[in-house]
Structure 1
């Protein structure tokens, strides 16, 4: 839903201030909900202003720019810290996915790397065979082209 313009808000409040109309009549006249008229009047009484207050909506972020700066320093210092370690080092009380999303938003990849020597014995599983070609057995299904051609050769 769109925000009402300041001009329309002023006209709604001015029409109500005349005193001979109800909120329902003002709402019908300006084609807004009665709740909107009530909200404007409450906002004027509370704040003294009827302008839209978008800056007050939404949840405030727990990971502030200072936290992000510290996270960047910690990751640069030791990239293999776990998310839980990062959270405790920074002193945050948020979830681990929140830290993951913050790192992703800062274009910092988080990948736990294993530092182990490679095995000298070689791979345990044999290599895969080559698919297709002459090494593949002919189809044994009845009616397939290879079995049909073999029957023709026999007769």
Structure 2
């Protein structure tokens, strides 16, 4: 859930400063009493009501991966995620999971599309002798493509 804007937080505290009852402020702004108390405490102790940073570890591989991945994608756009991970480990000496690679490719704006450039292969349907055989079909595989930039008016 996204944090309330700083402007909204300041308007809530302005209503408190004007002497309005807390129950009325909670009803008017659609916030909980605990949120109102937290804003008041933060204003009193820190002097501001800016939203706090979302907790969690900072990404370690993201910046390096996104910086060096584009040339690899352009050169090997038909490689699978596993192949991209193996190529990255071979060239950079750092192991990357399939999921990390997938998120990095998505952040760079590349999409996965089916490609019909695979080889033809014949498949036999398991049918009694003398029956019609299944026609050969073209095998599909995935490739990565760069999304076109949106056209702005």
The bucket for the TM-score relative to the shorter chain is 0.3 to 0.5
Greater RCO, CA 8 A, separation 6+? 2
The structure with more radius of gyration: 1
TM-score of the superposed pair, with normalisation by structure 2: 0.46
